Structure 1
Amino acid sequence: MTVSIKRWEPENPIFWLSRGRGIARRNLWLSIFSLHLNFNIWMMWSMVVVNLPAVGFLISSQQQFLLVSIPPLVGALMRLIYSWIWSWVGGGLWLGLSTLLLLLPAWGVGAVVTDISSPFWQLLLVAGLCGIGGGASASHLSNTSFFFPSSEKGLAMGLNAGFGNLGASVAQLLIPLCILFPLFGGWAGEPQVWGRGGDVHFVWLQNAAYLWLPAILLIALACLLYAHDLPKLRITPRDQLDAMKDAHTWYICLLYMGSYGTFLGFAAAFPLLARSMFPLVDASPYLFVGPMVCALSRPLGGWMGDRVGGGIATVISNLAMALGTVGAYLSLPASGDGGSFWLFLAMFQLIFFAAGVGNGSSYQLAPKVFLILAGREAQRLGTDPRLAYLRGGRRGASAMNVSSVLAAFGGFVIPKAFGSSLNWFGGVLPAFAMFFAFYLLCTAVAWWQYSRPQAALRC
């Protein structure tokens, strides 16, 4: 089972260099692999849903957008539990147990998609099960932050989240390929007939889920054998409620929602949006690119936060997302104009890249801001700096948890906004206008609170 650690002092240079760094890096990599799998499961559903009508499921476009919005919604709700339970169970043990939970959606989706007569409520149920994968960030990143000294938190969390988020891209890359072949023989069930226009062929849609089963078992075992449990922190819902009383928790929530919510929402909505806006273009070869760009740029955001300041990097990222939103809308077909798919694709890559930078830069604000506040309080009151560090770390972790929970709702809001906009207004202008206004609001908050020269917490 996991190893329990009684003493952990990452800010002590001697302890860190002699013992702490190796342990921290081992747990970072285990967390990365586990989080990667969680994102594989969380995002595989969007790739399954886009194929359901072609294999015979009778669902409308509005129902498709609803189905891809359910996993992010459930994932956000799961984070309410994941954000504190790891501190009671133990971070390493929870890595293993939470990875094993992914067996439920992997098995459930594989079973349901083989029967085109499955009722819509069953599709909603397995969509909800995929949301289990969305809870992991709230526990993995908070746990990782305690392993590293403050000078390395941004990069460590950027690597953890970046390579973890890469699971969304890997799922969108592998699933279109793996469903074309009988990878598991008769064990996985019969193929389905996929048809769209004159293109008709067999697919094994259940492979999209069964593909992950061996990796889930392997990574869960590795976490249970080699991960470490830090001294129990016992974070509680009360700690999160206390953090919610501080205005900076809400500022950071807003900024993280703007970047992480963008990543989740557009990763889920892009396959359906591309098909709706450009029905004559096969966008499937490009679906994985955006989430991959976002995941790979997240460590850059964490590094920028450590070097040039999280506030400045977050301002830049939100301005870029606002620009990309305008460009994406201008690329769409209009009356007498077929639009430009390549401009549409390029603008979404800009949005994904900027969202990745913003993910890394805004999320690492929480531990830094609350450590600064705790240090100032200790200096003012003359209390023990070590106790102030523990208190600040605890408050920072709670603020990160709250931010992670609320930001995940962006994954629900964005695809739902596109679906509702198409249904109510016959176009996506209202949805894009809402996103543009939100990015400008995030820019203003990041500038005023954390990046202008006179900001009290410029960091």
Structure 2
Amino acid sequence: MTSTLDPASPGRTTARTATGPVRRAGRWIDHWDPEDPDFWAGGGRTTARRNLRHSVGAEFLGFCVWAVWSVVVPQLPAAGFDLTLDEQFWLIAVPSLVGALLRVPYTFAVPLFGGRNWTVFSALLLLLPTLALAWVVGRPETPFVGLLAIAALAGFGGGNFASSMTNISFFFPEAEKGKALGLNAAGGNLGTGIVQLVIPSIIAIGAGIHLERAGLVFVPLALLAALGAWRGMDNLSTATSDHRSWTKAATHPHTWVISTLYIGTFGSFIGYSAAFPTLLRTQFPEVTTTIAFLGALLGAVSRPVGGAIADRLGGARVTIAAFAVMGLAAGSAILALHLHSFALFLASFLVLFTGSGIGNGATYRMIPAVFRAGAHDGDELAVARRGAAGCIGIAGAVGALGGFLVPRGFAMSATAHDSLVPAIGVFIAAYVVMATLTWAIYLRRGARLAGAGI
């Protein structure tokens, strides 16, 4: 290893290996070329994997905070809060809405501030929603609008997904980027199921229900995530905001087609995950809601499975199959409500979660294939990759809106009809429309992209 003067800052030395990253103070890396095999073998791979590990941990925590109100809300009436069912669903839905809206600015924060710096900041930012939660659950006199504002703070956890995925995309070569982003996304999604598994036990330790622990438990974890990112992650000065990719993606009609499909897949996953504990408590009060974690867990672990199957069979085919499975499972859930069969209701939703997870992976797999279609040379492929990157960011933000729409759909259905059946019927109709749209644009004989392997 040799030391050289940093031309950008006289007097500062830079550590340089023959083929590896070029570093400077503040954990900044000034030279990063993962497509160079020598660079990748000479320290690039080790650095990228270390950043991925800490990124997964921070994103996992973000998803936990994003989903924590799904566990807290069913317990609020027992803690003295006088809330209607509609108000409860508002508290569940608003974090998803805020998280979806934050995904766009969070995407651009990484190139602006550095991936390491932003991960540290966004992890520490989780102290705000968690400490506010711990404070408000002990004050049942809090007006609903105040409670809603504090629930909205949990949306900070949802924004972490976008910045984490953006940051990791800069570290890996194209050949390994899909796997790395898949691991990063799956690690984050697992947080939704884990929080629904662990938090009910934590708040029930000892006599009574201690809802404040649902927030306090994340305080040391947020500090650890920030410390881990501070000590183990890096900033890439070569990571720049590509506004052209977003502009290109935003003007590409397939971006909005795929974003619509992603509302049906990822939106269903995050929306059902948020609403499921409350659905169980209201429809089957004789059953503990702790079993709700199974749905979110299945949705998370099935996501990479969907991507792998889509690699073999094509993303469009697997997406259509996922919507078909989800529609049938939703129909089965309606039957379960008519029969008041908890076993059938649970089984139906577990299949629904699995279908949404598989659809997540398959729909994401479609994005690079759609933008690559018609590209013939290196320059066109480079443009296609930039467009696909922008589409991923837009689809991720739009798809997360499903986390707001699904709970609000249940709320409106229960309020207007005293039944969940109308809402589920609307969801089934949406899955039919989305499956038909996928077939018509990407598989129908005579469609322009029918033979593109999408």
- TM-score (normalizing by structure 1): 0.87
Alignment of 1:226 onto 2:221: no
Distance 1:50 1:448 in 2: 41
**Residue identity in the other structure for 1:458:** G
- The code of the aligned residue for 1:351 comes to L
2:371 matched residue in structure 1: 370
Q: Which residue of 2 aligns with 1:266?
A: 272
Cα pair 1:41 1:133 within 8 Å, conserved: yes
- Residues 109 and 356 (structure 1), Cα distance of their counterparts in 2 relative to 1, 3 Å cut: same
Find the residue that maps to 2:75 and give its secondary structure.
Answer: coil
| 143 and 314 in structure 1: CA distance in 2 versus 1, 3 angstrom threshold | farther
Partner of 2:100: 76
Q: CA deviation at 1:167?
A: 0.6
Number of equivalenced pairs: 427
Counterparts of 1:239 and 1:388, CA distance in 2? 13
Provide closer, same or farther for how the CA distance between residues 345 and 51 of structure 1 changes in structure 2, counting only shifts above 3 A.
Answer: same
1:327 equivalent to 2:319? Answer: no
Within-5 A mapping of 1:89-104: 89-104=113-128
**How many angstroms apart in 2 are the aligned matches of 1:362 and 1:19?**
33
Aligned match of 1:50:
74
User: Structure 1's 315 and 432: CA in aligned 2 closer, same or farther, altered over 3 A?
Assistant: same
Determine the structure 1 residue equivalent to 2:345: 344
Deviation at residue 452 of structure 1 after TM alignment: 5.9
* Deviation at residue 437 of structure 1 after TM alignment: 1.5
Q: Call closer, same or farther: CA 1:389–1:13 in 2, change over 3 Å.
A: farther
Shift of 1:203: 1.6
Runs of 5+ unmatched residues, structure 1: 183-200, 380-384
Aligned counterpart, 2:427 = 435
Preserved CA contact (<8 Å) 1:154 1:302: no
Name the structure 1 match of 2:17: none
State the alpha-carbon separation in 2 of the partners of residues 272 and 402 from structure 1. 30
**1:204 paired residue among 205, 210, 213:** 210
| Runs of 4+ deviating beyond 6 Å | none
Please list, as runs of the form range in 1=range in 2, the aligned pairs for 1:2-401 lying within 5 A after superposition.
3-181=27-205, 202-235=208-241, 239-279=245-285, 281-332=286-337, 334=338, 337=339, 339-372=340-373, 375-376=375-376, 379=377, 385=378, 388=380, 390-401=382-393
Distance, in Å, in 2 between the alignment partners of 1:415 and 1:409 is 11
SS of 1:5's equivalent in the other structure is strand
Q: In the superposition, relative to structure 1, how do residues 28 and 442 fare at CA in structure 2: closer, same or farther (>3 Å)? A: farther
- Code of the aligned partner of 2:427: F
Cα gap change, 1:258/1:51 in structure 2, threshold over 3 Å: closer, same or farther?
A: same
Residue identity matched to 2:299:
C
Contact 2:170 2:239 survives alignment (8 Å): no
TM-score, normalising length: structure 2: 0.88
Query: Which one is further off, 230-239 or 435-444?
Result: 230-239
Q: Which amino acid in structure 1 is aligned with residue 453 of structure 2?
A: R
CA distance in 1, matches of 2:453, 2:32: 29
Q: Which amino acid aligns with 1:287?
A: A
Q: Is the 8 A contact 2:443 2:451 kept in 1?
A: no
Question: Cα distance 1:282–1:29, how it changes in 2: closer, same or farther (>3 A)?
Answer: same
Q: Does 1:458 align with 2:450?
A: no
Report the Cα distance in structure 2 between the residues aligned to 1:232 and 1:118, rounded to whole angstroms: 47
Helix, strand or coil at the partner of 2:208: strand
Q: Tell me if the contact between 2:79 and 2:137 (Cα under 8 Å) persists in the aligned partners.
A: no
- Root-mean-square deviation over aligned CA pairs: 2.2
Runs of 5+ consecutive residues of structure 2 not aligned to the other structure:
1-24
1:310–1:365 CA contact under 8 A, matched in 2: yes
